[in-house]
Amino acid sequence: MRKRSLKISLISVAVLAVVVAITLLSVYFATSKKMSEYVECQVVKLDGRYKTTVDKRFGKYLGHPDLVEIDGTLMTFYPSGHGKGAIIGKVSNDLGQSWQDMTNLPKSWVNSMETPCVYKLTRTDGSQVLVLTSGCPNWAADGILPDGFNSSLSFDGGKTWSEFDHLYGKEWALSEFGDSNKAYDGVVAMSSLTQLKDKDGRFIDKWMATFHRGAHDKGMDAGNGYTNYRTYLTIEGDKAVWSRPEPIFTEQQHILEDKYGMCELEIIRNEKDDCLIMLARPNRRVSNALICYSYDEGETWSDPRQLPNCLTGDRHKAEYDPVSGKLIISFRQLLQDGDKYKTNAFAADSVMSEGWVAWVGDFDDLMSYADSDSANDAYGDGLIVLGKNYKGADCGYSGVVILGDGTAILHSYGYFDAGATKPYIMQTKFKINDVIKSK
């Protein structure tokens, strides 16, 4: 009798377990969401034939690249570590088909403390100068305090570079204030570098650069939360001259700047309306990415407004394609808002990301969000998944170059295959019309 009762009990437990399993699976599949279901425009995954590996090293973390083109030569730079480490440089003389190590890099680049950013400056006399910058931010875990930023120049197309010039760091602060702790916190310096125009609308040999400080209580403006700075660059002889950094936003706007954790600014010129458009990472994770605009060459900015999901993420890099008339904006996708973006009801977190993506659209699309909070259908032509990241969202900082024939070449770092144990540098190369249908 007892055996029969035990058997019945075991069968009952088994049946109950099956019912519970079926119920849980039903809930799982019923609540499962894909990234594309949250994005307002079409989503296209880039075909593997458009991708190549630039650098992959067993057991070595490679991250945060930037890319520049000059006279048909491509150069990419990235740190040998997460956010800091000796700068690695590679060069391609066949538009990205093959890459070789750059030699004779400056010795000071070995001690880089941030992600390198590189830009091509075209002066009003037609000459070109390359500038590479690298911040010296607060690394709290390592006990390293803010120490300004570095810059290096090349006047021969990247064949040779000057040693780092160290600016607005501890020595400057000690001399200026008698307190080395007043140094600027150069995080992602320079996240953008924009050539300016005079009152008659003509380009001048002056560039506005941006970087930010984090929310910690170290360095200039300690206790003031997230703060974005601008500094003006001019070239005098063979030297880069950077003006003293100053906050970008007004005191009133700073309330929103810190509330959203605005940082890693990207600025692109809208030639159609002759205004500057700013895109910002929302590092507090309480909003979508942000957008502002300026009609006075960056002197003042509109109040920040939120972008749609299709443009939300970190470290936007934007370039205009004159062939298609479209913008390509590369970034790390990251949707995060409470329980809103869970992949299913049982997901442990509320972060959703495919990894490295690029939005394609018009200036008018961006301006519609900068001007209005109201919902509209200006979501662009689509979102391209350039590289699915197989380990969290550690990817997406990128360099973007668009050649004269409309070929877009982009570099980023990430875990772009399921077996990757460390992030590596990948290249995508395509024309917009080959991968996405225009609206």
Give pLDDT tens digits along the chain (439 positions). 666 676 666 676 666 666 655 655 554 444 456 777 889 999 999 999 999 999 999 999 999 999 999 999 999 999 999 989 999 999 999 999 999 999 989 999 999 999 999 999 999 999 999 999 999 999 977 889 999 999 999 999 999 999 999 999 999 999 999 999 999 999 999 999 999 999 999 999 999 999 999 888 889 998 889 999 999 999 999 999 999 999 999 999 999 999 999 999 999 999 888 899 999 999 999 999 999 999 999 999 999 999 999 999 999 999 999 999 999 999 999 997 645 665 555 555 566 789 999 999 999 999 998 887 554 567 999 999 999 999 988 999 999 999 999 999 999 999 999 999 999 999 999 999 999 877 6
- What pLDDT sits at residue 34? 73
Sheet holding 43-45: strands in order across? 43-45, 382-388, 355-361, 326-333, 313-321
Question: Cα 172 to chain center, whole Å?
Answer: 29
pLDDT score recorded for residue 29: 46
Kindly state the greatest CA–CA separation across the chain.
Answer: 101
Whether omega before 208 lies within 30 degrees of 0, making that bond cis, reads no
User: Rounded to 5 degrees, what are φ and ψ at 98?
Assistant: -145, 155
Distance, C-alpha 311 to centroid of its chain: 12
For 145, residues 6+ apart whose C-beta sits below 8 A from its C-beta are 138, 170, 180, 181, 183, 218, 219
Decide the pairing of beta strands 227-236 and 262-270: unpaired
Backbone angles phi, psi at 219, to 5 degrees: 80, -175
Return the CA Rg of the chain. 24
Q: What is the pLDDT of residue 49?
A: 96
Angstrom distance (rounded) from CA 424 to CA 152: 25
Give the integer Cα–Cα distance in Å for 195 and 213: 23
As a whole number of angstroms, the distance between CA 263 and CA 306 comes to 14
Q: Which helix (H) or strand (E) holds 190?
A: strand 187-197
